[in-house]
Amino acid sequence: MPGIVIVGAQWGDEGKGKITDLLAEHSDAVVRFQGGNNAGHTIVRGDQEWKLHLIPSGILYPGKRCVIGNGVVIDPKVLIDELDSLRARGVDVGGLRISANAHLIMPYHMLLDSAGEVKLGSLQIGTTRRGIGPCYADKAARLGIRVQDLLDEKILKKKIVAAMEPKRLSLRPFEKDPSLDLHTMTEEYLTFGHRLEQHIADTSKLMWQMLDAGETVILEGAQGAMLDIDHGTYPFVTSSNPLAGAACVGTGIGPKAIDEIWGISKAYTTRVGAGPFPSELHDAMGERLRERGGEFGTTTGRPRRTGWLDLVALRYAARLNTMTSLVVTKLDVLSGLDRIQVCLSYRGADGAEFDDFPYHQTVLHHTTAELTELGGWKEDLGECRTMSDLPDGAREYLDFIADHIGVPVALIGVGPGREQTVWTDAGRATLIAPAVRS
Ligand code: GDP
Ligand code: IMO
Ligand code: MG
């Protein structure tokens, strides 16, 4: 103990990478528990920027144990490229462990992801086309290929044949695609296996050992609550559970091993891909947030949709996660505005008001945000390091958010750099003290 979960509280890209890197300094291990290389987690240290897709955001600390848990879906080629590029930049990746039970993204998953989107036409989800959905579908259908299968040629080949058989019809347009040739695919994946073998382990046992020894483990989520396949804006979601509840299943530990659950939210809202977004802005203010916030996807480069902070969705995310602390990132992006708006409720098509997130898709799709105006602040926040450095307007905004969702703010982001962070007393009390004590 303790186990600390870090989750996205919106539609992803909240700044989980930066916060995980920051907290990793006070921890012994960082473990990813779901998602795959649909994720893009950015860490900025000095003039160096790192974009991680599969490797946990603790990797930049020499000797830190980093684990890719069983709940992650792994594209082994992407993982090897990420390892190589980190090594080339002088990062020690020797401490990485990969769950033998994690599922592998295969070439046919990527083809089916793209083909599925094309088929949906105007109804498409806007996936990252990295094969995430089809890979999780195969896992549920018990047709998945796992990391451990890379170490046995006979089993690997047999499983690829079995996985491809029910997909014959949908893969017919790709018959001539060289990546689908059984021999080529098997050889390629065996090579990946050789490259990754030294990192493959029984990672849940490793987690138990660390937790039993009193070590601090960070469980790093990808995506965000509103992209959760069960509780998000289905079907415009990812194919896993980015909620804290999944951190246990995705790593092989029990719920009692979790002590803290930190939800990360921007000071406004963004979303990449299609789907409902009640507080979305389609005007010059939306454009301003995109420009000032650099809101372009880390993985696909797509412009992110932008809008005001949605407190209906954030309160829902706090409940779904039993969030113990809130981190508000990118507060600096709101500097210079006379007035800031926040969404406190939704208005349905029939005029009904919703204080809570509506469960019905049709209702949600026709809601608009009811906005409340708060005062802004002029000052640049980039150099603020303590609460008292922040202008009154910024502090009042944070208080308003914390009061409304009923979770204390632990950390505030005032820029992309790891030092551009303000710790609140609540944040220091919940994390730093216990971690230093242990
Ligand atoms: P993640 O997927 O949740 O890790 O977030 P991303 O890395 O995809 O997107 C967050 C972006 O915001 C990255 O470019 C970060 O460097 C940047 N960022 C994180 N925190 C802050 C902050 O407090 N202020 C500003 N201006 N940028 C931030
Ligand atoms: P991080 O970890 C933002 C979105 C996609 C699409 C939907 C489904 O960086 O926060 P998928 O490829 O998962 O089947 O796409 O989910 N999406 C993300 N949006 N941040 C992410 O990850 C995302 N991962 C997936 O844009 O709308
Ligand atoms: Mg991201």
**Residue where a domain terminates, one of 198, 217, 241:** 198
Res. 437 pLDDT band, cuts 50 70 90: very low
Q: In this structure, are 184 and 152 located in the same domain?
A: yes
Res. 438 pLDDT band, cuts 50 70 90: very low
- The answer as to whether 335 is a domain residue is yes
Q: In this structure, are 130 and 234 located in the same domain?
A: no
Q: In this structure, are 430 and 410 located in the same domain?
A: yes
Res. 430 pLDDT band, cuts 50 70 90: confident
Domain containing 79 — which CATH number? Answer: 3.90.170.10
- The answer as to whether 98 is a domain residue is no
pLDDT at 433: 55
- The answer as to whether 96 is a domain residue is no
Instruction: Please report the atom of ligand 2 found closest to the CA of residue 132.
Output: 14
Total domain count, the chain: 2
- The answer as to whether 97 is a domain residue is no
- The answer as to whether 130 is a domain residue is yes
Q: In this structure, are 256 and 127 located in the same domain?
A: no
> Structural domain of residue 35, as residue ranges?
3-91+202-437
pLDDT at 297: 86
Q: In this structure, are 108 and 249 located in the same domain?
A: no
Query: Strand 309-310 relative to strand 269-271: parallel, antiparallel, unpaired?
Result: unpaired
Q: In this structure, are 313 and 341 located in the same domain?
A: yes
Model-level pTM greater than 0.95? Answer: yes
Q: Residues 190-194: what's their mean pLDDT?
A: 98
Q: Which of 6, 42, 105, 127 best tests ligand 2's pocket when mutated (most atoms within 8 Å of CB)?
A: 127
**Which positions are annotated as active-site residues?**
13, 41
- The answer as to whether 302 is a domain residue is yes
Q: Residues 61-75: what's their mean pLDDT?
A: 96
Q: In this structure, are 194 and 311 located in the same domain?
A: no
**Is residue 435 predicted with pLDDT exceeding 60?**
no
**Residue where a domain terminates, one of 172, 198, 224:** 198
**Residue where a domain terminates, one of 179, 198, 217:** 198
Q: Residues 50-58: what's their mean pLDDT?
A: 97
Domain containing 181 — which CATH number? Answer: 1.10.300.10
Distance 129 CA to ligand 1 centre (A): 22
Q: In this structure, are 77 and 192 located in the same domain?
A: no
Q: Residues 18-38: what's their mean pLDDT?
A: 96
Distance 224 CA to ligand 3 centre (A): 10
**Is residue 90 predicted with pLDDT exceeding 50?**
yes
pLDDT at 299: 79
- The answer as to whether 327 is a domain residue is yes
pLDDT at 429: 86
HEC secondary structure over the chain: CCEEEEEECCCCCCCHHHHHHHHHCCCCEEEECCCCCCCCEEEEECCEEEEECCCCCCCCCCCCEEEECCCCEECHHHHHHHHHHHHHCCCCCCCEEEECCCEECCHHHHHHHHHHHHHHHHHCCCCCCCCHHHHHHHHHCCCCCEHHHHHCHHHHHHHHHHHHHHHHHHHHHHCCCHHHCHHHHHHHHHHHHHHHHHHEECHHHHHHHHHHCCCCEEEECCCCHHHCCCCCCCCCCCCCCCCCHHHHHCCCCCHHHEEEEEEEEECCEEECCCCCCCCECCCHHHHHHHHHHCCECCCCCCECEEECEEHHHHHHHHHHHCCCEEEEECHHHHCCEEEEEEEEEEECCCCCEECCCCCCHHHHHCCEEEEEEEEEECCCCCCCCCHHHCCHHHHHHHHHHHHHHCCCEEEEECCCECCCEEECHHHHHHHHHHHHHC
pLDDT at 182: 96
Q: In this structure, are 117 and 262 located in the same domain?
A: no
Task: Find the Cα–Cα–Cα–Cα dihedral 399, 400, 405, 407, rounded to 10°.
Answer: 0
Ligand 1 pocket (Cβ < 6 Å) reads 8, 12-18, 39-42, 44, 294, 298, 329-330, 332-333, 413-416
Summarised one tens digit per residue, pLDDT across range 97-117 is 999 999 999 999 999 999 999
pLDDT at 300: 81
Q: In this structure, are 211 and 238 located in the same domain?
A: yes
pLDDT at 301: 87
pLDDT at 434: 57
Q: What count of other Cβ atoms lies within 10 Å of the Cβ of residue 359? A: 8
- The answer as to whether 160 is a domain residue is yes
**Is residue 418 predicted with pLDDT exceeding 70?**
yes
Percent over 90 (pLDDT), the chain: 95
Summarised one tens digit per residue, pLDDT across range 225-269 is 999 999 999 999 999 999 999 999 999 999 999 999 999 999 999
Q: What count of other Cβ atoms lies within 10 Å of the Cβ of residue 289? A: 25
